Amino acid sequence: DNQTRYPVLIVLDGSPFMIFHATSSLTDRSIPEFVVASVPNVDRLRDMSHQNVAGIWPTSGGAERFLSFLTDELVPWLDAEFRTTGYRVIVGGSAAGRFAAFALLKAPAVFDAAISRSPALGTDFEMFRELVASASAASVPGDQFLYIVYGSHDYPVVTIYVERLLRLLEDEPPTWLRYEREVLDNKGHFQFASVNAGLSALFAEYRFPSERFLLEGPAAVAERARMLSARFKTDVEASALTSESELVDSACDLGRQRRFTDAIKVLDYGLELHPDSSRMVYYLAQMLEHADRTEEAVSAYSRVFDMEPSAGIAGMTKILFDNLVETTRSAKSETGS
């Protein structure tokens, strides 16, 4: 019922189990919503392998054709059927992790990022030598991201050859590619937690540090939003980078340190991004009260009633407001003012 456009997450080995892990990961961080496209396997050995192993895997060697299916059929269909932004992430594990890395290096005009989970690079490594050399010579507009993640106890066909691939990328780095490697401690092959790890790394800059927010304020957040909008081909709202909850938590943490002036500054900044947040005004009133800025605190408590007259927060506000007014009245009576 709206005109919002979404990036696309293409999940290889697309079983219901894999879709559960991919979509549950999306709720764990402040990242965009996705159109999630599940691609189940018909013949995995065929689609995920680059060379034919005659007599052992009769159908192997179809990776190029499978990539053509994704780029020439699936992606255009997704763009025609759904409101997509044009930003696409491909994720796969083991042989599909190798394929995800291959797809990004081979077709960077189609894919913007790849989450390569425990990629079994050893079985097709010579292909990657040529691929990296070709990618290094290519001129690609954009900021593509390759994230490789595997367990510290993963198979040698993964660990040894990931090191070799990283050396290739260091020797001939494509100017358009950012890459990151993460090793999950005490884990083995093909960990489902790696989906979340990859999405968290891809969208790490959506988290705007509270201390930087304290120093630089909404202008810095707005600049970050412009940068991310260009990278992710969508409109990133500044308010999405510093959520109401994060700002309140940051202010409360500062309050616990008795840094009330800093807490008030965070909440004032926060209200520029979230002007309708009664919760933020509620905590602002408390910090003003603790900073002995009583008249401002009374005014802020009153604003909560105007914004949320019947919500649960109003009841708590009423108690604090009455206590503050009574305390103020008693103090004035004692001083005769």
Q: 10-residue block means of pLDDT along the chain (337 residues)?
A: 88 81 64 88 91 81 96 98 96 95 97 96 90 93 93 95 97 95 90 82 84 86 92 87 87 93 94 92 93 91 80 66 70 59
Nearest to 282 by CA among 301, 263, 295: 301
Tokens 């034919």: give the residue: 52
Contact 28, 196 (CB under 8 A): yes
Residue 195 is predicted with a pLDDT of 83
Contact 50, 63 (CB under 8 A): yes
Residue 141 is predicted with a pLDDT of 87
Contact 298, 266 (CB under 8 A): no
**211 CB neighbour count, 10 Å cutoff:** 12
Residue 20 is predicted with a pLDDT of 75
Residue 330 is predicted with a pLDDT of 66
Residue 1 is predicted with a pLDDT of 65
Residue 208 is predicted with a pLDDT of 80
Q: With left for phi above 0 and alpha for psi between -120 and 50, is residue 244 left, alpha or beta?
A: alpha
Residue 324 is predicted with a pLDDT of 75
Residue 280 is predicted with a pLDDT of 93
Tokens 């001129």: give the residue: 139
Measured between alpha carbons, how far is 164 from 167 in angstroms, rounded to an integer?
5
Residue 337 is predicted with a pLDDT of 55
**59 CB neighbour count, 10 Å cutoff:** 13
Q: Could you give the residue ranges of the DSSP H alpha helices within 7-73?
A: 16-25, 44-48, 63-68
Q: Hey, what long-range contacts does 179-182 have (CB within 8 A, 24 or more apart)?
A: 179/145, 179/146, 179/147, 179/148, 180/145, 180/146, 180/147, 180/148, 181/147, 181/148, 181/149, 182/147, 182/148, 182/149
Positive/negative CA dihedral, 298, 299, 302, 304: negative
Residue 108 is predicted with a pLDDT of 96
